[in-house]
Amino acid sequence: MAPVSLHLLHRARPSLPFRDGGGRPASTTGLLPWRRQYWSYTSARMRLSMPVSAVAAETPPLPRADDDETSAPADEEEEKFDWLDQWYPVAPVCDLDRRAPNGKMVLGLRVVAWHDGGEWRVVDDVCPHRLAPLSEGRVDGKGRLQCAYHGWCFDGHGACQFIPQAPALGPPVHKNSRACVASYPSVVQNNILWFYPRSEPEHSDVLQRKRPPYFPELDDPSFKAVYGVRDLPYGYELLVENLMDPAHVPYAHRGLFPEDLEFDQERGGPFKMKIENASIHGFHSNLDEDWGYFKFVAPCTLVGSPFRIRPVDHQGEEKKQQPEVTLVFFCVPVAPGRSRYIWANGLYVGRWFNITPRWWYHSITNTVLDSDTYLLHIEERNFAKVGIENWHKACYVPTSSDNLIIAYRNWFRKYCNHEIGWATPTVNQLVPPTRTRVELLERYWSHVKQCTSCSSALKGMRALEAILQVASFTVIGFLAATKGTIVMAAVQMAAAVLLFAASRWITNFIEKTFYFQDYVHADK
């Protein structure tokens, strides 16, 4: 996938996005008591490392595969990135159900988000009673999160409010600290729910010290943003790296790339990228005169504009500005070999933009994501075989179009030591064999189930499919029960055939749009 609006600009359509490895947690103080005990017991025997991450050589101007100097001297101490001192996006608010708990995994941590009637809350997805998942429960009439196993109820701060099995006149066992569930600071910003993965009391006012990245364009009424989310079968590093790579767009997404943006017969071209302001907090890149800019805000956020905005001269008419495109991506580390892609992309446009349903844009975005998912899934396993210390030798990156990727790999090495600071112990999920294409490119569980627009569209099309089939058989039954002219019978039969054919077309459309559609590069 790539940092570019793939399906329009020239057709005045909204932009598409450019198109979990383990490590020791940076801190374990935010874990529940039973989790802290488990981690302290296993940490001496268990050192989990990212199976995919690697780092490119920092030798300017371009790294070579045979460079040996790829890391700082051993006696040079670098500032380390604290993965637990960051805000992480849970999901766009429009894709969260206010009437029920919403379970998610972020940074190896299972959390559940729900609306208590006043605001969104985020707590650990585990009941302290018998460790059942709270995300399988419900939100009761008082806005409390109720466990589906034994009915224990919790408020937005994680305090237990009610234990049905406790005698009403007995001791208040629900007030015991062991009856509480860890609660995390959360905030809604830019229509996205964020949470901070530390539950200690001293972090309850973290918003006074540190906030999630903010983008005023997304709150501008004249800016039409299309939000979306999808879980992907490859790790966080591969997702970030892929979104920073515009050079792969005309090849990995062949057939989806606008023809008027081609560069040569092979539809490729050089990209001159200059990295600026590189630090522990991320870096900025300005592309050449034909392209825009990109910014990486560690650890999750990528923002930029794929094309510079220039006035357009229409044969003597007053010069007009091209539609301004802003792309905002959030790359969420879920678990080793798993990541979550959240996007908020759009442009300043007229009223016509609002009439296109959100699920239609999602279907296009999912096609773009599908086109390189299998490539990245296999690539991740190839990187794991190479080893993080040998990535710079195995990968030959001789052109400036790889500068963003090299900058990111250097950031990941320099400040993270090739590791993600998972909030809980994680298991290397790259060990199982490569999954089938049907499993990798499935859309229902990775996107549709999490998307309110696509879920509603699927229900509507299922209903339309059933109506067409019933109508087809009804017409046939009516034809058999009545005696009419040959012409009338032919018309009725044709109508029945058309209705049935339409129902089959809807069935095929549903399968490709909401469940699975293969992407074969050789056919593009």
Given a cut of 50, whether residue 429 has pLDDT beyond it is: yes
- Could you tell me if 422 and 475 lie in one domain? no
- Could you tell me if 364 and 221 lie in one domain? yes
- Whether residue 75 is contained in a domain is answered as no
Report, as an integer, the average pLDDT of 176-180.
92
Structure tokens given for 219: 């709150």
Domain that holds residue 359: 216-258+267-310+322-442
Question: What is the chain's length?
Answer: 524
- Whether residue 2 is contained in a domain is answered as no
Beta strands at 102-106 and 109-115: parallel, antiparallel or unpaired: antiparallel
Please count the other Cβ atoms lying within 10 Å of the Cβ belonging to residue 99.
8
- Whether residue 364 is contained in a domain is answered as yes
The enclosing domain of 297 has a CATH number of 3.90.380.10
Please count the other Cβ atoms lying within 10 Å of the Cβ belonging to residue 129.
17
Report, as an integer, the average pLDDT of 380-393.
80
Q: Which pLDDT band, with edges at 50, 70 and 90, does 110 fall under?
A: very high
pLDDT value of residue 353: 54
Q: Which pLDDT band, with edges at 50, 70 and 90, does 75 fall under?
A: very low
pLDDT value of residue 128: 94
- Whether residue 70 is contained in a domain is answered as no
Report, as an integer, the average pLDDT of 141-148.
93
- Could you tell me if 226 and 189 lie in one domain? no
- Whether residue 17 is contained in a domain is answered as no
pLDDT value of residue 150: 93
- Could you tell me if 488 and 364 lie in one domain? no
- Whether residue 346 is contained in a domain is answered as yes
Instruction: Find how far residue 41's CA is from the centre of its chain.
Output: 33
pLDDT value of residue 273: 72
CA separation for the pair 244, 403 (Å, rounded)? 9
Q: Exposure of 508 by Cβ count < 10 A (0-12 exposed, 13-18 middle, 19+ buried)?
A: exposed
Which of 442, 468, 503 is the last residue before a domain boundary? 442
The DSSP letter of residue 513 is I
Closest to 50 in 3D by CA, of 433, 467, 413, 511: 413
Report, as an integer, the average pLDDT of 215-234.
86
- Could you tell me if 432 and 400 lie in one domain? yes
Instruction: Express as a percent the part of the chain with pLDDT over 70.
Output: 71
Given a cut of 50, whether residue 222 has pLDDT beyond it is: yes
Closest to 300 in 3D by CA, of 224, 195, 425, 203: 195
Structure tokens given for 159: 């305090």
Which tens digit of pLDDT belongs to each residue from 354-363?
677 888 888 8
- Whether residue 53 is contained in a domain is answered as no
- Could you tell me if 434 and 328 lie in one domain? yes
Element (H, E) at 30: none
Total structural domains within the chain: 3
For the ranges 178-187, 263-272, 407-416, 491-500, the maximum mean pLDDT occurs at: 178-187
Task: Decide: pTM greater than 0.85.
Answer: no
Cross-strand partners of 342: 229, 330
Given a cut of 90, whether residue 493 has pLDDT beyond it is: no
- Could you tell me if 176 and 248 lie in one domain? no
Q: Look-up: residue for tokens 């515009």? A: 246
For the ranges 69-83, 113-127, 338-352, 401-415, the maximum mean pLDDT occurs at: 113-127
Q: Which pLDDT band, with edges at 50, 70 and 90, does 138 fall under?
A: very high
Which tens digit of pLDDT belongs to each residue from 197-210?
999 999 989 999 99
Q: Which pLDDT band, with edges at 50, 70 and 90, does 489 fall under?
A: confident
Report, as an integer, the average pLDDT of 326-348.
87
Given a cut of 70, whether residue 399 has pLDDT beyond it is: yes
Which tens digit of pLDDT belongs to each residue from 28-61?
333 333 343 333 333 333 333 333 333 333 333 4
- Could you tell me if 150 and 204 lie in one domain? yes
CA separation for the pair 479, 495 (Å, rounded)? 11
Contacts of 315 (CB under 8 A, 6+ apart): none
Which of 442, 470, 487 is the last residue before a domain boundary? 442
CA separation for the pair 298, 389 (Å, rounded)? 22
Of the candidate ranges 315-324, 381-390, 420-429, the one whose mean pLDDT is the lowest: 315-324
CA separation for the pair 443, 230 (Å, rounded)? 8
- Could you tell me if 246 and 196 lie in one domain? no
Closest to 83 in 3D by CA, of 188, 237, 201, 205: 237
Please give the mean pLDDT across all residues of the chain: 76
Q: Which pLDDT band, with edges at 50, 70 and 90, does 184 fall under?
A: very high
More confident residue, 212 or 285: 212
252-267 b/e with 16+ CB inside 10 Å = b? bbeebbeeebeeeeee
Closest to 15 in 3D by CA, of 313, 349, 454, 321: 349
- Could you tell me if 400 and 468 lie in one domain? no
- Whether residue 55 is contained in a domain is answered as no
- Could you tell me if 198 and 243 lie in one domain? no
Q: Which pLDDT band, with edges at 50, 70 and 90, does 312 fall under?
A: very low
More confident residue, 287 or 16: 287
pLDDT value of residue 275: 83
Instruction: Express as a percent the part of the chain with pLDDT over 90.
Output: 32
pLDDT value of residue 519: 62
Given a cut of 60, whether residue 336 has pLDDT beyond it is: yes
The enclosing domain of 137 has a CATH number of 2.102.10.10
Which tens digit of pLDDT belongs to each residue from 339-356?
999 998 776 555 455 677
Judge contact between 273 and 247, C-beta under 8 A.
no
Which of 442, 476, 497 is the last residue before a domain boundary? 442
- Could you tell me if 394 and 425 lie in one domain? yes
